[in-house]
């Protein structure tokens, strides 16, 4: 299919590529740079020369790094993984499709298996093969440049963050809070969304309007109302407090999104179920939900993002042992910081961002459809 | 759906929203009229020095059995609001001894109000404009390239706001890579975090970086739904590219421009995370940041719940005022259309 580009005059074509190029760089650069810095020693990480930061000569001398072989092998493995991922629809079909679409557990199994294979190959296979080839080729005069480290890389900051400073505690807290928020939000939201989608009274209109208004409220205003009761009832510092507040904040958006997904499913389906003798709940659970789960996943994604990325509520209601990851990283800055401390904070930030990167990679379609659902359909 | 099943399905959600959102709102409103303070009492203290002993009366906080200060909550009416608005200082700013706007800005509330309003209103056209241009651009490139471009575009929106702001901070602070290059180019010493307006620029940049993806996705998806026949028809009728855009595409996109604008207003008015990530507290504070600062305990472990609640109420009023105009237009369209 010829792209519209060929019908554009040269000046517009140039502008288009310029815009896209500039934007891509602007979008990626801060995050990529953060990643690059996190693997270097302070001397290299904070150097004013960008090439020193990227190649990390001091780090190379002191702590070793990646060789051409390493990089090439990782690139090959990554390419294979990405190709499988790009062709995942074809794979899923081959593995287990029925007429109604692929069963949920096949999909989950595929993704989990994919993640395991990817993790195994990147964490074990590539380093092991590298060591093997390092040993085999290391002594041959010209070829050994392939296995000599050229890109400075050190894992010490990640080590310091996750092992020495026990960042995994905060990770577990974030996981617990996020899990709680997503499960409760989705349960309440699917029920409400279905009810609102299948009813035509004027109540629905008013509920939707109030939902929109509630979405506009700042989190701090709601937490201000919670703090005194929470402290009195001993809920301060408990993760359940954050879960309650986040579920409440998230409800309007979740209900709105799920309702629009339910509206897309023709009412004829559950009408047929009702005629066949089911009550509303049975029609909902046995007929609608199996078709609905892509929409549930999309909404769940946004609930997850809200809980995972939250700073204000967690910072006000949690501290010490129950803290979640995002407030914890800000705590790094409240201490006296050496450049090594700062790089550890950068490593922590990169670690926090990594799951989100995977999320966008795996769920890009769902995120886009979720965003456009409420908007384009009105 | 009949009433009973409707209530069963929708009830739990409505209950949660009433109790856990509407409830705290009422609490906040009530709390804004109260203050919790230490209770003071007069006591006699004996002070002895080489010249003899003296007894004086002093006021000290009352302590309970555990040795902690007793705090009581009492009704103070509009006192909290008066403290936040700081009328005497505010009006003094415009008298002869004050410096007008610059004196007003020294009061935290007015500083926060000015920043939040400007932050919201200045970034709005930029986000809409860049999102639109980006949507047109991506719409014009090869189909196979769009997926990766959209992937890259989504990242600024999905990354945790605090971390996104931190990543921009690390580029500019001290000898950050971009500051270093700028210093090399201009030959001057640049300190991006030593004055308010450079931090404010960085904040604007972050917010645009973070919100453009959302605008882009919405506009891009809408562009996909424009029937190519309409465009063909306009072209056949002799319209130039720009006339086509003006009379076919923009009208199609207008409701979405309003929608994205609305969401942007709502979200940016509540901006807080990026001020934390860019450590702007010394220079800039947003309205939500003001409430947050009242809610954080001081050294004695006390929180100014009363003032926080008053600040929260003012923020809510601000949002309602901000949203009234766009919402009223949308309402009129909905009820007429």
Q: Which residue has the higher pLDDT, A18 or A332?
A: A18
Contacts of A122 (CB under 8 A, 6+ apart): A74, A77, A78
Dihedrals phi, psi of B37, to nearest 5 degrees:
-140, 165
Would residue A333 count as lying in a domain?
yes
A280 and A313 housed in the same domain? yes
CB B199, CB B276: distance < 8 Å: no
The CATH number covering residue A286 comes to 1.10.3720.10
A157 and A175 housed in the same domain? no
How many domains does chain A fold into?
2
- Radius of gyration of chain B measured on its C-alpha atoms: 27
Q: Which residue of B has its CA nearest to A305?
A: B158
pLDDT at A334 over 70: no
Tell me the shortest Cα–Cα distance from B101 to chain A, in angstroms: 27
Burial A80-94 (b: 16+ CB within 10 A, else e): eeeeeeeebeeebee
Contact A349 B163 (CB under 8 A): yes
Note whether A64 contacts B: Cβ–Cβ < 8 A.
no
Would residue A14 count as lying in a domain?
no
Q: What is the pLDDT of residue B268?
A: 92
A359 and A278 housed in the same domain? yes
Over the stretch A96-126, which tens digit does the pLDDT of each residue have?
A: 666 555 566 777 788 888 888 888 888 888 8
pLDDT at B97 over 90: no
Over the stretch B145-161, which tens digit does the pLDDT of each residue have?
A: 888 899 999 999 999 99
Which residues in chain A have Cβ-Cβ distances shorter than 8 Å to B177?
A: 33, 48, 50, 53
A140 and A177 housed in the same domain? no
Over the stretch A265-278, which tens digit does the pLDDT of each residue have?
A: 888 888 888 888 77
CB B160, CB A325: distance < 8 Å: no
Q: What is the pLDDT of residue A3?
A: 46
A181 and A276 housed in the same domain? yes
pLDDT at B231 over 90: no
Q: What is the pLDDT of residue A201?
A: 77
* Nearest CA among B267, B261, B266 for reference residue B157: B267
Which residues in chain B have Cβ-Cβ distances shorter than 8 Å to A221?
A: 24-25, 28, 291, 312-313, 315-316
Q: What is the SS3 assignment for A220? A: helix
A153 and A234 housed in the same domain? no
Q: What is the pLDDT of residue B15?
A: 87
Over the stretch B38-72, which tens digit does the pLDDT of each residue have?
A: 777 777 878 888 887 888 887 777 777 777 677 77
The structure tokens listed for A218 are: 């700042």
A361: domain range?
A: 166-376
A173 and A140 housed in the same domain? no
Would residue A7 count as lying in a domain?
no
Lowest model confidence (mean pLDDT) among A54-58, A93-97, A362-366, B192-196: A93-97
A172 and A106 housed in the same domain? no
Long-range CB pairs of B140-144 (<8 Å, 24+ gap) are: B140/A3, B140/A4, B140/A5, B140/A8, B140/A12, B140/A13, B140/A16, B141/A3, B141/A5, B141/A16, B141/A17, B141/A20, B142/A3, B142/A5, B143/A1, B143/A3
Would residue A13 count as lying in a domain?
no
Q: What is the pLDDT of residue A340?
A: 83
Instruction: Give first-to-last CA distance, chain A, whole Å.
Output: 30
Note whether A256 contacts B: Cβ–Cβ < 8 A.
no
The structure tokens listed for B105 are: 């800005």
Q: Which residue has the higher pLDDT, A136 or B134?
A: B134
- Chosen for mutation from A30, A247, A348 (greatest number of chain B CBs closer than 10 Å) is A30
Q: What is the pLDDT of residue A129?
A: 84
What are the E-state strand segments in B152-204? none
CA B28 to chain centre: 19
Which residues in chain A have Cβ-Cβ distances shorter than 8 Å to B222?
A: 376
Q: What is the pLDDT of residue B200?
A: 92
**Domain final residue, candidates A142, A161, A180:** A161
A174 and A156 housed in the same domain? no
The C-alpha atoms of residue B54 and residue B47 are separated, in whole angstroms, by 5
**Interface confidence (ipTM) of the complex:** 0.86
| HSE (side-chain half, CA atoms, 13 Å) at A159 | 7
Dihedrals phi, psi of B150, to nearest 5 degrees:
-65, -35
- Mean pLDDT over A32-56 rounds to 86
Q: How confident is the model at residue B211 (pLDDT cuts 50, 70, 90)?
A: very high
**Domain final residue, candidates A101, A133, A161:** A161
A105 and A185 housed in the same domain? no
- Mean pLDDT over A291-314 rounds to 90
Q: What is the SS3 assignment for B35? A: strand
Would residue A59 count as lying in a domain?
yes
Which of A12, A247, A284 shows the shortest C-beta gap to B16?
A: A247
Over the stretch B293-306, which tens digit does the pLDDT of each residue have?
A: 888 887 777 788 88
Which of A8, A31, A376 shows the shortest C-beta gap to B155?
A: A31
Q: What is the pLDDT of residue A352?
A: 93
A143 and A199 housed in the same domain? no
Would residue A34 count as lying in a domain?
yes
The C-alpha atoms of residue A192 and residue A282 are separated, in whole angstroms, by 15
The structure tokens listed for A21 are: 């190029």
Q: What is the pLDDT of residue A275?
A: 83
Q: What is the pLDDT of residue A99?
A: 57
Q: What is the pLDDT of residue B23?
A: 86
Lowest model confidence (mean pLDDT) among A9-23, A217-231, B151-165, B230-244: B230-244
Report chain A's mean pLDDT, rounded to a whole number. Answer: 83
A128 and A209 housed in the same domain? no
- Radius of gyration of chain A measured on its C-alpha atoms: 25
Q: How confident is the model at residue A2 (pLDDT cuts 50, 70, 90)?
A: very low
Would residue A23 count as lying in a domain?
no
Report chain B's mean pLDDT, rounded to a whole number. Answer: 84
Contact B5 A280 (CB under 8 A): yes
Query: Which domains does chain B possess?
Result: 37-74 (no CATH), 107-336 (1.10.3720.10)
Q: How confident is the model at residue A154 (pLDDT cuts 50, 70, 90)?
A: confident
- Mean pLDDT over B253-258 rounds to 86
Compute the C-alpha angle B290/B291/B296, nearest 5°.
100
Lookup result for tokens 């602070």: B173
Note whether A339 contacts B: Cβ–Cβ < 8 A.
no
Q: What is the pLDDT of residue B63?
A: 77
The C-alpha atoms of residue B312 and residue B25 are separated, in whole angstroms, by 9
Lookup result for tokens 């010249």: B51
Tell me the shortest Cα–Cα distance from A191 to chain B, in angstroms: 5
**Domain final residue, candidates A161, A193, A209:** A161
Would residue A192 count as lying in a domain?
yes
Q: How confident is the model at residue B13 (pLDDT cuts 50, 70, 90)?
A: confident
Q: What is the pLDDT of residue A378?
A: 42
pLDDT at A263 over 70: yes
Instruction: Give first-to-last CA distance, chain B, whole Å.
Output: 25
Q: What is the pLDDT of residue A174?
A: 93
Q: What is the pLDDT of residue A114?
A: 85
Q: What is the pLDDT of residue A7?
A: 67
Contacts of B327 (CB under 8 A, 6+ apart): B262
Note whether B181 contacts A: Cβ–Cβ < 8 A.
yes
Q: Where are the alpha helices (DSSP H) in A163-218?
A: 167-197, 202-215
Percentage of chain B lying above the pLDDT 90 cut? 22
């Amino acid at each position: 299919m010829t792209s519209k580009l060929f019908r554009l005059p040269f000046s517009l074509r140039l502008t288009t590529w310029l815009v896209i190029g500039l934007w891509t760089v602007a979008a990626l650069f801060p995050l990529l740079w953060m990643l690059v810095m996190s693997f270097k020693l302070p001397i290299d990480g904070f150097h004013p020369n960008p090439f020193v930061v990227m190649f990390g000569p001091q780090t190379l001398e002191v702590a070793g790094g990646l060789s051409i072989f390493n990089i090439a092998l990782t690139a090959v493995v990554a390419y294979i993984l990405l190709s499988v991922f790009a062709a995942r629809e074809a794979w899923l079909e081959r593995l287990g499709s029925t007429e109604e679409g692929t069963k949920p557990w096949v999909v989950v199994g595929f993704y989990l298996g994919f993640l395991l294979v990817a993790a195994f190959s990147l964490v074990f296979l590539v380093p092991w093969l590298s060591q093997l080839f390092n040993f085999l080729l290391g002594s041959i005069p010209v070829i050994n440049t392939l296995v000599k480290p050229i890109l400075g890389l050190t894992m010490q900051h990640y080590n310091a963050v996750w092992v020495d400073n026990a960042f995994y505690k905060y990770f577990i807290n974030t996981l617990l809070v996020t899990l709680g928020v997503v499960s409760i939000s989705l349960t309440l939201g699917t029920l409400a969304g279905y009810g609102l989608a299948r009813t035509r009274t004027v109540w629905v209109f008013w509920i939707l309007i109030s939902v929109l208004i509630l979405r506009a409220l700042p989190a701090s205003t709601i937490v201000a109302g919670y703090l005194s009761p929470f402290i009195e009832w001993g809920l301060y510092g408990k993760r359940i407090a954050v879960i309650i507040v986040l579920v409440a904040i998230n409800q309007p958006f979740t209900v709105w999104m799920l309702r629009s997904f339910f509206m897309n499913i023709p009412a004829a389906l559950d009408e047929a179920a009702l005629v066949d003798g089911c009550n509303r709940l049975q029609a909902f659970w046995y007929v609608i939900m199996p078709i609905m789960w892509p929409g549930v996943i999309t909404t769940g994604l946004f609930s997850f993002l809200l809980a995972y990325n939250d700073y204000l509520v967690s910072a006000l209601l949690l501290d010490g042992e129950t803290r979640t990851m995002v407030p914890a990283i800000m705590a790094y800055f409240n201490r006296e910081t050496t450049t090594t401390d700062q790089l550890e904070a950068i490593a922590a930030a990169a670690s926090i961002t990594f799951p989100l990167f995977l999320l966008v990679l795996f769920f890009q379609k769902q995120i886009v459809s979720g965003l456009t659902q409420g908007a384009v359909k009105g | 759906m009949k009433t009973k099943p409707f209530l069963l399905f929708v009830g739990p959600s409505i209950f949660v929203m009433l109790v856990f959102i509407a409830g705290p709102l009422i609490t906040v409103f009530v709390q804004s009229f109260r203050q919790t303070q230490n209770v003071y009492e007069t006591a006699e203290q004996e002070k002895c020095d080489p010249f003899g002993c003296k007894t004086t009366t002093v006021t000290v906080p009352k302590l309970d059995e555990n040795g902690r200060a007793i705090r009581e909550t009492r009704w103070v009416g509009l006192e909290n609001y008066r403290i936040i608005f700081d009328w005497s200082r505010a009006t003094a700013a415009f008298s002869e001894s004050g410096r007008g706007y610059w004196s007003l800005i020294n009061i935290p509330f007015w500083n926060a109000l000015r920043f939040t309003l400007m932050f919201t209103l200045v970034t709005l056209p930029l986000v809409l404009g860049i999102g639109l241009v980006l949507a047109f651009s991506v719409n014009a490139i090869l189909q196979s390239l769009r997926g990766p471009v959209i992937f890259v575009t989504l990242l600024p929106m999905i990354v945790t706001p605090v971390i996104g702001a931190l990543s921009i901070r690390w580029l500019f602070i001290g000898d950050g890579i971009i500051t270093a290059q700028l210093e090399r180019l201009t030959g001057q010493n640049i300190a991006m975090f030593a004055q308010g307006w450079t931090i404010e620029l960085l904040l604007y940049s972050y917010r645009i970086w973070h919100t453009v993806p959302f605008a882009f996705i919405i506009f891009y998806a809408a562009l996909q739904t424009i029937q190519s026949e309409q465009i063909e028809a306009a072209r056949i009728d002799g319209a130039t590219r720009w006339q086509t855009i003006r009379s076919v595409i923009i009208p199609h996109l207008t409701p979405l421009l309003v929608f994205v604008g609305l969401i942007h207003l709502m979200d940016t008015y509540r901006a807080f995370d990026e001020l934390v990530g860019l450590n702007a507290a010394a220079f800039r504070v947003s309205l939500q940041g003001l409430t947050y600062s009242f809610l954080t305990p001081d050294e004695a472990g006390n929180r100014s719940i009363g003032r926080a609640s008053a600040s929260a109420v003012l923020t809510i009023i601000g949002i309602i005022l901000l949203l009234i105009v766009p919402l009223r237009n949308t309402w009129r369209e909905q009820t007429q259309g």
